Amino acid sequence: MPIENSKVPISLRLKNLSKCYSEAGRKIEILDNVNAELNQGDVVALIGKSGCGKTTLLNLISGIDRADSGEIWIGNTLLNNLSEEELTLIRRNRVGIVFQFFNLIPTLSVIENVSLPRELNGSQGANVSSNAKELLIRVGLGDRLNSYPDVLSGGEQQRVAIARALINDPDLILADEPTGNLDDDTAKEILELLLSVARDRGKTMIVATHSSEIINFADKLYTIHSGNLIPGQSGS
């Protein structure tokens, strides 16, 4: 493990981050010189219109995508110079991702889905499954351990996804429209769950959303507008 795992107060730092896409021969400056600094335990709401660059920003942070310029620091690790393989390991160990469409593996049971990132790390056995079980009980699915995703409701699937995001005890949780595919009541439950697990464990969490619900709970608020990350300001 080449990455130093020590916890530092500054959890995430974005420095002069820029990203542009070419679309139909035209360059679109989707993120333009973005700067931000998050402390350990910050819960951040990232809002903005659809297509404004929320997902792009999250993908850059998780190392799924690379920035054109600027720096991304997770703790004291600079992502820019890391290889694909190293980025994967960062993602696996220090970032937990919750998707809008849950993205569970259909051929794995609930507990296996949760254990997967841990097993990808090479750990196996009772320890892994007890951790997974613990997490699933925490998200309220202690009785569905051996079910398969296709028999779960959307809310239940997202709970599994939250448990999966936590299994490697990451520093950072990225949730991309985690409630976008759920009805209002369920959305609320899931959001509450996300916030409570993040706060319980003192995780830094960025929730990208276009719903205003989260604003009331977040420590910080960022709005992406025309490629700029504007602190505190809600678009609506």
Judged by CB under 8 A, which of 29, 40, 41, 65 binds other proteins? Answer: 65
**Are β-strands 26-39 and 204-209 bridged in parallel, bridged antiparallel, or unpaired?**
unpaired
Cβ-based nearer residue to other proteins, 131 or 168: 168
Q: Who contacts 214 (Cβ-Cβ below 8 Å, separation ≥6)?
A: 45, 47, 191, 207
Cβ-based nearer residue to other proteins, 9 or 122: 122
Cβ-based nearer residue to other proteins, 25 or 106: 106
Nearest approach, Cβ of residue 177 and other proteins (Å): 12
Interface with other proteins in residues 25-64 (CB under 8 A): 55-56, 59, 62, 64
Interface with other proteins in residues 184-203 (CB under 8 A): none
Residue 145 in contact with residue 153, Cβ under 8 Å? no
d(CA 68, CA 71): 10
Q: Who contacts 125 (Cβ-Cβ below 8 Å, separation ≥6)?
A: none
Sheet holding 10-23, edge to edge: 26-39, 10-23, 69-74, 77-78
Residue 103's identity, in one-letter code, is N
Residue 145 binding other proteins, by CB under 8 A = no
Cβ-based nearer residue to other proteins, 52 or 89: 89
d(CA 213, CA 201): 22
Judged by CB under 8 A, which of 27, 106, 185, 236 binds other proteins? Answer: 106
Tell me whether residue 104 is exposed, middle or buried, using C-beta atoms within 10 angstroms of its C-beta: 0 to 12, 13 to 18, 19 or more. Answer: buried
**Are β-strands 228-231 and 172-176 bridged in parallel, bridged antiparallel, or unpaired?**
unpaired
What mask of x and - would describe binding to other proteins in positions 9 to 28, judged by CB under 8 A?
--------------------
Residue 94 in contact with residue 7, Cβ under 8 Å? no
Judged by CB under 8 A, which of 92, 133, 159, 203 binds other proteins? Answer: 92
Judged by CB under 8 A, which of 45, 97, 198, 214 binds other proteins? Answer: 97
Cβ-based nearer residue to other proteins, 19 or 218: 19
- Where on the chain is the footprint of other proteins (CB under 8 A)? 55-56, 59, 62, 64-65, 84-85, 88-89, 91-93, 97, 99, 101, 103, 105-108, 112, 115-117, 119-121, 124, 150, 164, 168
